[in-house]
Amino acid sequence: MTDLEAPLRRAAPALLGYAAVRALGLVVLAVWSAARGKSAHTLLTARWDALWYTRVADLGYGYEVRLPNGDVHSNLAFFPLLPWLERFMHAVSPLSYADGGLVVSLLASLAAAWGIFAVAEHVYGRRAGVCAVLLWAVLPVGIVQSMAYSESLFTALAAWSLYAALTGRWLTAGTLALLAGLTRPVGLAVVAAVWVAGVTSFVAPSVTSFVRDRSTAPAPGARNWRCALGLVLAPLGAAGYVLWVGHRTGKGPLGYLDVQAGWRNGFDGGAAFARFVGEKFTSFPSALAGVGLIVGVGLVVWLYVVGVRQRQPLPLLVYTGVVTALALCASSYFGSKPRLLMPAFPLLFPLALALARLRTSRSAWVVGGVAVASAVYGAFWLNGSGPP
């Protein structure tokens, strides 16, 4: 058995379950879309952000749209790794840029599922790892995992970077954090987690409890230089792109913030989101949506607190905290917040532990029922008018 076969066999139930859930979602989407006279393929590859990514892959950076209200939507807001991969797929195959992005997303979603399993298994055991993957698959916005978006690619890079940091593989952790930083702005969360793990291993190696097995660890000297190099590599992707955008726009290191401001997006501590929720209570029907939003935010906060109480490793808590803060405290795109929270997979670990304690038959019924609901919701959502 090769070094890859054993981990793959351990992850096989999680990956097969994940593939089944995603296949169900795609079938329901195809049927729903056909009934409405729409193309499921177009919905997955050629709407909203997917169009911006394929335009970058095809024509490069420099495209922008000026809206009647004066806002400027520039494609510099979109990080380059997914367009690079779309361009590569187009160059080596007959696939279009859009289809290349779809293939990248589908493969990355499997890699993300495997990475989530690896992290959860390392911390809580195999059964919890399988449950964590299935819960990630049945998220209400799980259909995004099958779109030509960057969420699946980012989650794959983040999960494996976190796993590498948890197991002391510093060069791998740093390299994957670098790539995550080239994928989405929230790559900063991966960088922060890797830095916390690395600094902790330097400052207090005797209490670095998140590294379970040190039997194959390198000698302290080798471990130290690998850790230091990994920490240097981690921020280079995000920093490099942000600085390049600043140079391209002529506005210096903060030029990327100006690009985001053109999309009316920024970090305001959640003030705009709070106003958005408050406005829902001006009439009765919309007040129900306001209650739902408050319950949803409360659930996210509660899951994070439970993760702290269950003593999740510090790198996971830092990563989840940064992803959650950036998602909830962004000043725009309120309808997209569930999608922006999707990479925060450690939030699911308390639920995965609870699900793992059930009998297999009961947990299968729970996951199956939620999977059907998720597939129906995903088809309804993606066939709607607004972007996910």
Distance (Å, whole) CA 80 – CA 61? 9
Which residues is 65 bridged to in the sheet? 73
CA–CA separation, 325 vs 322, rounded Å? 5
Q: Distance of alpha carbon 288 from its chain centroid, rounded?
A: 28
Q: Where are the beta strands (DSSP E) in the chain?
A: 64-66, 72-74
Rounded Cα gap, residues 89 and 62, in angstroms: 22
Contact 246, 255 (CB under 8 A): yes
- Residues comprising the chain, all counted: 388
At position 236, the amino acid (one-letter code) is L
Q: Give the whole-angstrom CA distance, residue 89 versus residue 98.
A: 10
What's this model's pTM, rounded to 2 decimal places?
0.93
User: pLDDT tens string for the chain (388 positions)?
Assistant: 555 677 888 999 999 999 999 999 999 999 999 999 999 999 999 988 999 999 999 999 999 999 888 888 999 999 999 999 999 999 999 999 999 999 999 999 999 999 999 999 999 999 999 999 999 999 999 999 999 999 999 999 999 999 999 999 999 999 999 999 999 999 999 999 999 999 888 776 544 555 555 444 445 555 688 889 999 999 999 999 999 999 999 998 889 999 998 888 888 888 888 888 888 888 878 888 889 889 999 999 999 999 999 999 999 999 999 999 999 988 877 778 899 999 999 999 999 999 999 998 999 999 999 999 999 999 999 998 766 6
d(CA 180, CA 94): 27
Q: Cβ of 216: how many Cβ atoms within 10 Å?
A: 7
CA 339 to CA 45: how far, in whole Å?
A: 16
